[in-house]
Amino acid sequence: MYSNRRKERHLDNGLIYFLISFIVSIIQKLSIVEWLKKIIGNIVWKRYKEKYSKEAIQRKQRFALNITIDVFIIFKFSLVALLWYLDFSSILSNVIIFYLLFYNLFTYFYHHLWSEVAIRDQYLTLHRVRRRFIALFLSIIYMIITYSYLYKVVFSENFIWSNNLIDSKKAILFSISNSFAGTYQELIPLNDLGEMIKVSQTIMMFIFITLILARSLPVAKN
């Protein structure tokens, strides 16, 4: 029964699996980071294909892609910090922030839980294990900071602030408390929208801790 499972198609595993795999692949294709990685990877290949071996080029590609990812991480942290500092919110900035927040979770899910490379762990090394933990830590920190910004700047009117004082300290403490099922009472949802924002953070943290963190405890093979 299982001798030819490596040759199976998506539809061989049923309609639900096929639909979910299709949706995941579409979402993956809409990732800015993936487009940047393709562009950088092609640039490195064209630049060095006449000078180095395939293995050497792949090492240079891996280095360039990791740098690209690092720059993007710095960018998204800096963007939230700038918007927060300027106390700025608009439809466009909100769309960008929610996009980055969604892909902050999805990218980690895809590359550490869903993709074939993640499932097989065939290229896992000591340094990649460490980088995976760093990525997890940064993803959680980004989520906490971004939700703090949302509470303080974007959706402040949808919450009851103690002493009617809207400040960053309360937003940060509420975001941290909400991420770990705490009971910070200085900030309370005022309406359904405020409750939805709060619950969305709880759900994201639940996914990080219970599903992704469990998958992030491999043993390096090399």
Q: Which of 3-17, 74-88, 137-151 has the lowest mean pLDDT?
A: 3-17
| 84 contact partners, CB below 8 Å, separation of at least 6 | 148, 149, 152, 153, 168
Average pLDDT over residues 138-153: 95
Band of residue 201 on the pLDDT scale cut at 50, 70, 90: very high
> What does the pLDDT read at residue 211?
67
Between 2-16, 61-75, 152-166, 168-182, the lowest mean confidence (pLDDT) is in 2-16
Q: Are 216 and 133 in contact (CB under 8 A)?
A: yes
Secondary structure of residue 181 in the 3-state scheme: coil
User: Whole-angstrom Cα distance, residue 63 to residue 68?
Assistant: 9
- Rg (C-alpha) for the chain, rounded Å, is 21
Lowest-confidence region among 113-122, 147-156, 183-192, 210-219? 210-219
pLDDT over threshold 60, residue 180? yes
Cα distance between residue 152 and residue 172, in whole Å: 9
Please list, in sequence order, all residues whose beta carbon lies within 8 angstroms of the beta carbon of residue 137, skipping any fewer than 6 positions away.
none
The answer to whether 218 and 120 are in contact (CB under 8 A) is no
**Does residue 121 surpass a pLDDT of 70?**
no
Asked if the model's pLDDT at residue 126 lies above 80, the reply is: no
Give yes or no for residue 1 having a pLDDT over 50. Answer: no
Neighbours of 173 (CB within 10 A): 15
Condensed to tens digits (0 to 9), the pLDDT of residues 79-106 reads: 999 999 999 999 999 999 999 999 998 9
3-class secondary structure, 75:
helix
